[in-house]
Amino acid sequence: MGQAAGRQAFTLTELLVVLALLSLLLPFAYRIWSVLRRGSDQVSEHARYYQVVGRFLAQFKLDLRSATRLRREGDSLVITVPADDPTAERTIRYSVDADRHRLSRSEGGQAIVFDFGAPPAGAGPFIFRIE
C-alpha cells in the first residue's frame, strides 16, 4: 500500500501540544473576560443610579422654577405652584425615605417614587435633606 495523498488527521503529539497551549491560555482568557464583565456590571449600576438622580433633578428643577411658596412640613418639602386656573394653586410634596434611598413626589393623589438604591461603589452619595 502506498502513502496517502495528503494528511488526513493530526498526530497525537500535535494534539497534546495544542491541549498544553490551551491549558496555559484559557485561564488568562477567563480572567480577562471576568474583569471585563465586572467592569460592565459596574458601569450599568452607575448608569442606572445616575439616571434616577438625573430624572429627579430635572423634575425638582421644574417644580422649583415655578414655585410661588416653599415650606417644610415634618420630613417633607411642600412646594406651591400656580395651577392652570390663574386663581388656583397646586401643592407638590417631596418626602425623603433615607433608609431606602428614595424620594417621593406627590401631587393631587398621584405619586412618583425616585428609587435611587444604595449608591454604587465609587459613586458619591446623593444627599437630599430637608432642613
Cα–Cα dist 77/131, whole Å: 9
* Distance (Å, whole) CA 17 – CA 22: 9
Q: Is the CA virtual torsion 63, 109, 95, 127 positive or negative?
A: negative
Residue 107: burial class (beta carbons within 10 Å; 0-12, 13-18, 19+): middle
Q: Which residue has the higher pLDDT, 60 or 4?
A: 60
Q: How far is 97 from 124, CA to CA, in rounded Å?
A: 18
**Single-letter amino acid code for the residue at 125:** P
Q: What is the pLDDT of residues 66-124, one digit of tens each?
A: 999 999 998 899 999 999 888 899 999 999 887 878 899 999 999 999 988 877 777 76
Residues in contact with 6: Cβ distance below 8 Å, sequence separation at least 6, in sequence order: none
Beta strands (DSSP E) in 1-131 are: 69-73, 76-82, 89-97, 102-107, 110-115
Element of type H or E holding 24 = helix 12-65
For residue range 5-40, list pLDDT tens digits in order: 566 888 999 999 999 999 999 998 899 888 888 888
pTM of the model: 0.65
- Residue 1: the pLDDT is 47
Contact between 131 and 119 (Cβ < 8 Å): no
